[in-house]
Chain A
Amino acid sequence: MRKWENIGDKTIPLLFIFIILVFWQLIVDGGIIARYILPSPYDVVVVCIKIIPDIKEHIWTTLQEALIGLVVAIALSVILAVLMDNFTLLKKAIQPLLVVSQTIPVMVLAPLFAMWFGFDMLPKIMVVILVCFFPIVVNLLEGLNSLDQDLLNLMKSMKASRWHIFSLAKFPASLGSFFSGLKIAATYSIIGAVIGEWMGGKSGLGVYMTRVRQSFALDKVFASILIIIVLSLLLFEIIELIQYLAMPWRRAIK
């Protein structure tokens, strides 16, 4: 197995996906599964390219909801995590609630949001916030906690203010975890928006998916899934790029 270790991190999963896709293609082409039940990967890509010009609006709506939700979730998480980090009582009070909030299935909350906030963007954004909030807060809290106790003492011995301890040490020390949470949140955000849209609305990938599903256009359902995957990966990569730019010392380590 040793020689596998020399192959790049991405080669093996890509190869694996490729094998699955070829297998899938052969099953459909060989007529083992009928095309109207399972479209082949090739068909999905062709349909996807064909429909993109028509559903640009839908994609844009979903993307907007995801991005707005993500940004709001980041802002809320940072504020809450910093407060919790500074006030132990608050941390003790809120931490269990955070976990409980994650045990409620989104599929249950999404229709409630639709009932409370109507069929515009707001309920979808709420779903995005809900799914993105938790990974960011948890990771950021862990990051803020990760500061070396000796470094903390050293700064105290220099008479550093709470603000200086936070801005010079705690916050930068937490950035790695923060971005880990952000990447998870980014990948959740698109699907969060889509789930919100399944509950009804005028525009969005989720709305489009509901329509094509009802007309049994399975190839278009799969094409939508493909678009969701691509958008999610795109957001993930953007966060990764921001992290690369924001943490130049990580590059130095490598």
Chain B
Amino acid sequence: MPIIEDVSFYLDQNEFVTLIGPSGCGKSTIFNMIAGIVPVEEGKVFIDGRDCTGEVGQVSYMYQKDLLLPWKKVIDNTILPLIIKGESVREARKKVIPYLKLFGLEGFEYKYPFQLSGGMRQRAALLRTYMFSKDIVLLDEPFGGLDAITRSKMQSWLLEVIEKVKASVLFVTHDIEEAIYLSDRIYVLTERPARIKEEVAIHLPRPREREIVTTTQFNRIKRHILLNLS
């Protein structure tokens, strides 16, 4: 049985688009195909109109696991993409320092990942993803492993960061509230094999306050997606 079937979607500049679907429906596989690390049997990936199918290095990609290198201090983890591009540690560190504050990592830069909480580790992983500095950022359930309170804080924080750094984000989650709170548009996927069931545009004003999740408008969208997913 194929993992993905006839899935077609787009992402505009500075847009926040979420793929939502049940676990195991193929969301991560779609991301892996966009990132060029699993072969695509059928279909194509276009970036700025150029066919990038199977090419690596075209998007910034963050996994659900933080995948920080345990043997490197936080700051050296965040500069990993720069090191891979061939920059020296000194140069790279200089470049990342201005972002430490925005990403809430100030004071933690010389700690090892093991000394950080789950939320802080995701921040470090996100900064590392950002340092790869591609216009398109893929975030695969970045807050999936966090407790509810930390997760909610991280969502608001993510909105703030994206407001400042301007990025086009493709997001994956199976949390409906998270999807609505963060996104401009949502694609609802079916069970495996993944197909697009529906596209939902979220016309909630930005910047979004946390309280927005309690409004009737928010809940109407939530109810709609919930019914559609089950």
Contacts and interface: CB of A to CB of B under 8 A. Distances in A.
B26 to A, nearest CB: 16
A200 B70 CA distance: 49
Interface stretch (B56-64, B150-158, B221-229): B56-64
B35 interface: yes
Contact of A247 (B71, B83, B132): B71
B52 to A, nearest CB: 12
Tell me what chain A mostly uses at the interface: helix, strand, loop, or mixed. Answer: helix
A44 to B, nearest CB: 44
B81 interface: yes
Interface stretch (A13-21, A154-162, A236-244): A154-162
B32 A158 contact: no
B65 interface: yes
Contacts of B56: 156-159
Contact of A249 (B57, B63, B65, B71): B71
Interface in B9-48: 32, 35-37
B114 A253 contact: yes
B148 interface: no
A153 B32 CA distance: 9
Interface in B46-96: 56-57, 59, 61, 63, 65, 67, 69-72, 80-81, 83-84
B217 interface: no
B57 A157 contact: yes
B83 A164 contact: yes
B63 A154 contact: yes
B132 A158 contact: yes
Contacts of A158: 56-57, 80-81, 84, 132
Interface in A136-162: 148, 150-151, 153-161
B35 A168 contact: no
A156 B36 CA distance: 9
B63 A168 contact: no
A252 B69 contact: no
B63 A150 contact: yes
Contacts of A249: 70-72, 112, 114
Interface size band for B? 20 to 34
Interface in A202-254: 247-249, 252-253
B147 to A, nearest CB: 22
Interface string B170-209: 0000000000000000000000000000000000000000
Interface in B78-127: 80-81, 83-84, 111-112, 114-115
A210 B183 CA distance: 81
A153 B37 contact: yes
A159 B134 CA distance: 13
Given A158-B56, A168-B69, 12 more contacts: A154-B63, A157-B56, A157-B57, A158-B57, A158-B84, A158-B132, A159-B57, A168-B80, A169-B69, A175-B71, A252-B114, A253-B112
Interface of B: 32, 35-37, 56-57, 59, 61, 63, 65, 67, 69-72, 80-81, 83-84, 111-112, 114-115, 132
18 contacts: A150-B63, A150-B65, A151-B67, A154-B61, A154-B67, A157-B36, A157-B56, A158-B132, A159-B84, A164-B84, A168-B83, A169-B69, A249-B70, A249-B114, A252-B111, A252-B114, A253-B70, A253-B114
